[in-house]
């Protein structure tokens, strides 16, 4: 079953269209990556899926329902959750208070204690540092916190934008390994410029170039040259 489907999507910013006829499908309990060079439109696509920008044409379909007209909070209520590339934590608040902020939908609030425990089991460092200020955590720990906060809404689809940005390769690998474990319980859609990580964990990959999907397939179906050209050089394969 497709948990998420995007059909014929056209979207962008005032006076600048970025995405052209973008289509993709994300099967339940899979990990799907969108890869592409800087400026190819990855963040714009995730923003459109989350309802953070308007769509001019096409459909965003979640659990069989067209959600184009829903606000971001309503999409979170339905089971979407987003980790933006800037992480957007509150540095002067504790780890735990940052996590609690992720549980603001009625359903999430009801399960807050249970969610906190699950997240502390999943990322033990967050439990050990629950009373520490978020701003004093390392980059990798902050990324775990941003993911933990997104998990507090108990999503069915976790969407992550460039989680490797600013992290040491070893930390990035560690977090990706964690995501692999998550896909038993939920579905993951991520945008990455770092193709090696995406390649390692993904069930399916879409290559975005100048706002269009130019290739897609299982990692072993996509040639390395297609991936490298698209992700790093910004030229068509």
> Which residues contact ligand ADP (rule: CB under 6 A)?
13, 16, 18, 36, 38-44
Q: Which residue is nearest to Mg ion (CB)?
A: 43
CB of residue 42 vs Mg ion: minimum separation in angstroms? 5
CB of residue 18 vs Mg ion: minimum separation in angstroms? 11
Which partner in ligand ADP, Mg ion, none is near 187 (CB below 5 to 8 A by kind)?
A: none
CB of residue 216 vs ligand ADP: minimum separation in angstroms? 16
Q: Which two tokens stand for residue 209?
A: 């170039």
List 43, 142, 143, 202, residue binding Mg ion (CB under 5 A): 43
How many residues line the site for Mg ion (CB under 5 A)?
A: 2
- Specify the residue, 20 or 122, whose C-beta has the smaller distance to ligand ADP: 20
Phi/psi of residue 232, nearest 5 degrees: -110, -35
Stretch that binds Mg ion, among 19-27, 36-44, 96-104, 141-149 (CB under 5 A): 36-44
For residue 67, what are the contacts with CB-CB under 8 A and spacing of at least 6?
A: 51, 60, 61, 74, 75, 78
> Which residue reads 């993709």 in tokens?
24
- Specify the residue, 38 or 68, whose C-beta has the smaller distance to ligand ADP: 38
- Specify the residue, 41 or 79, whose C-beta has the smaller distance to ligand ADP: 41
CB of residue 33 vs ligand ADP: minimum separation in angstroms? 12
Q: From its phi and psi, is residue 58 left (phi > 0), alpha (psi between -120 and 50) or beta?
A: left
> Of 32, 61, 22, 29, which is closest to residue 190 (Cα–Cα)?
32
- 4 and 196 in contact (C-beta within 8 Å)? no
> Strand, helix or coil at 176?
helix
- Specify the residue, 29 or 165, whose C-beta has the smaller distance to ligand ADP: 165
**How far apart are the C-alpha atoms of 59 and 199, rounded to whole Å?**
27
Site of interaction with Mg ion (CB under 5 A): 42-43
């Amino acid at each position: 079953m497709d948990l998420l489907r995007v059909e014929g999507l056209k979207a962008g910013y005032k006076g600048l269209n970025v995405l052209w006829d973008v289509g993709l499908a994300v099967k339940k309990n899979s990990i799907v990556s969108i890869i592409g060079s800087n400026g190819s439109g990855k963040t714009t696509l995730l923003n459109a899926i989350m309802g953070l920008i308007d769509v001019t044409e096409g459909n965003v379909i979640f659990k069989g329902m067209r959600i184009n007209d829903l606000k971001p909070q309503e999409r979170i209520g339905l089971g979407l959750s987003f980790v933006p590339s800037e992480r957007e934590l509150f540095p002067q608040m504790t780890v735990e208070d940052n996590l609690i902020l992720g549980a603001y939908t009625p359903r999430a609030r009801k399960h807050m204690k249970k969610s906190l425990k699950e997240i502390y089991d999943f990322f033990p460092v967050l439990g050990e540092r629950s009373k520490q200020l978020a701003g004093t955590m390392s980059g990798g720990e902050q990324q775990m916190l941003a993911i933990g906060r997104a998990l507090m809404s108990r999503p069915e689809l976790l969407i992550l934008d460039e989680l490797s940005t600013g992290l040491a390769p070893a930390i990035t690998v560690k977090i990706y390994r964690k995501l692999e474990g998550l896909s038993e319980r939920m579905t993951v859609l991520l945008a990455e410029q770092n193709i090696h990580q995406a390649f390692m964990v993904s069930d399916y990959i879409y290559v975005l170039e100048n706002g269009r999907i130019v290739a897609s397939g299982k990692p072993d179906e996509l040639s390395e040259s297609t991936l490298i050209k698209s992700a790093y050089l910004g030229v068509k394969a």
